[in-house]
Amino acid sequence: MDTLAITIKVRRKAYELGFDACGFSRAQKLDKEALRLEQWLNEGRHGTMDWMERNFEKRIDPTVLVPGAKSVVSVLASYRFKKNEDHDKTNTGPKIAKYARGRDYHKTLKSGLKKLFKYTEQQAGGINGRIFVDSAPVMDKAWAERSGLGWMGKNGNMLNKDLGSWFVIGEMIIDTPFVYDAPVSDHCGSCTRCLDACPTNAIYEPYKIDSERCISYLTIELKDRIPNEHKKDLGEWVFGCDICQDVCPWNRKAAYSSVDDFTPRDHVLQPPNGHRWSEIDEETFKTVFEGTPVRRAKHKWFTRSAKIAENNSSIS
C-alpha cells in the first residue's frame, strides 16, 4: 500500500474509533523544544517533578525512545460536556478539574490506540513501535503541534480551532512512514486573558509556566504542605484547575465531546452523603474516584487540598 493511501486509512480509522483529530509528523529530534525544555529545567520551573529531568534524550528524540521510529501519530479526544458547565454555574464549593470528572483518560486513549495500532499493523503488513498516553518521556504537545493538530497557547496548553483546549493527547511512535501534516499558525494573537486570570501568576510570561505556582501542580503533583502564600489563591480547587481554560475565547467555541467515557460522573461532582471532601475516609476516596484521574492524588493529598478549598469557599 502506498504512503498516501495508508495515511488516509489510518486517519479515517482514528475517527471511527472515536478520536476527534489525528495528525502525522516525522519522528526526529526536537531541537527547538529541547533548548526550551533545558532552560526551563535549569531554572527549576518544574518544582518537585524530578522525573522531568530523567531520560532527557528520549524525551527530545523519539528515535532514541523507539529505535527505528519513522513517524509520530498523534490523536486528540475531547472532554467538553455541557453537564460540566451547568454544574460549574451553580456549584460554589470545592472543584475538580473537568478532565478528571469522568473515566481516566489514560485507560480510554490506550484502549483506542491499541486498536489503531493493530489496524495500522494490518494495513502496513507488520510494524514496530509503541503507544503512549503520559506513560513515558514523550513531549505530546510538541508532537501534536508538529502534526498540525493545533498550536501552543500562551497558557502552555495546546489549542485547536474546533476543540479549544478541552482535549487529551495520545500517540503512536512507529516505524511506518506517512504523508506528514504541516504545523498550523498561532492564533492567540494579542489576547492575554489566561495570563490575567491566573491567580498565582503561574503563567509568568506568554508560553512559560512556573509549575511551583500552578494550581494543578500544587493540588496534584506537590506531595508536601502547600505553601501558605498560595493557599488563598487556590480558591476552591481541590484537584487540578480550569481557570486559564475557562477564560480562553477558543474554548467558548469548542465542540462538545462524543466520548462517553469522559462524561462527568455524578458522584464525582459532589461529596457523598452530604459530607465534605475533606471528611471522606480513604476507603470512600478509593470507591468514589475508582477509575478516574483523581486517584492519582492519593487520599492524604486530596483531603489536604480539600481542606484549603473548603476554607476558601462559601461552604466554610
pLDDT category of residue 92 using cuts at 50, 70 and 90: confident
CA 29 vs. chain centroid, Å, equals 22
Sign of the torsion formed by the C-alpha atoms of 40, 61, 135 and 75: positive
In the numeric block, which cell numbers belong to residue 271?
461529596
| Whether 246 is catalytic | no
pLDDT at 189 over 60: yes
C-alpha cell at 267: 458522584
Measured between alpha carbons, how far is residue 52 from residues 45, 64, 136, 201, 284 in Å?
A: 11, 16, 10, 22, 32
Any idea what DSSP says for residue 149?
S
**Taking residues 95-101, what's their average pLDDT?**
97
Query: Residues 221-243: pLDDT tens digits?
Result: 999 999 999 999 999 999 999 99
Per residue in 104-151, pLDDT tens?
999 999 999 999 999 999 999 889 999 999 888 999 999 999 999 999
In order, the DSSP letters of 5-18 are HHHHHHHHHHHHTT
Under 8 Å between Cβ of 206 and 195: yes
> Residue type at 287?
T
- 8 Å CB contact between 154 and 194: yes
**In this structure, which amino acid lies at residue 184?**
V
For residue 252, the tally of other CB atoms under 10 A from its CB is 9
Domain parsing of the chain, residue ranges = 3-80+103-174, 193-256+264-312
Closest CA to 165 of 199, 195, 141: 141
Mean pLDDT across the stretch 185-190?
97
One-letter amino acid for residue 150 of the chain: G
**Exposure of 227 in the CB half-sphere (CA atoms within 13 A):** 11
Residues listed for the chain: 316
- Amino acid sitting at position 219: T
Mean pLDDT of the chain: 95
Summarised one tens digit per residue, pLDDT across range 154-185 is 999 999 999 999 999 999 999 999 999 999 99
SS3 204: strand
pLDDT in tens, 28-43: 999 999 999 999 999 9
Longest dimension (CA), the chain: 64
- By CB neighbour count within 10 A (0-12 exposed, 13-18 middle, 19+ buried), where does 196 fall? exposed
Catalytic entry in 2, 20, 104, 134? 134
Q: What is the pLDDT of residue 314?
A: 62
Chain segment 238-281, per-residue pLDDT in tens: 999 999 999 999 999 999 999 999 999 999 999 987 789 999 99
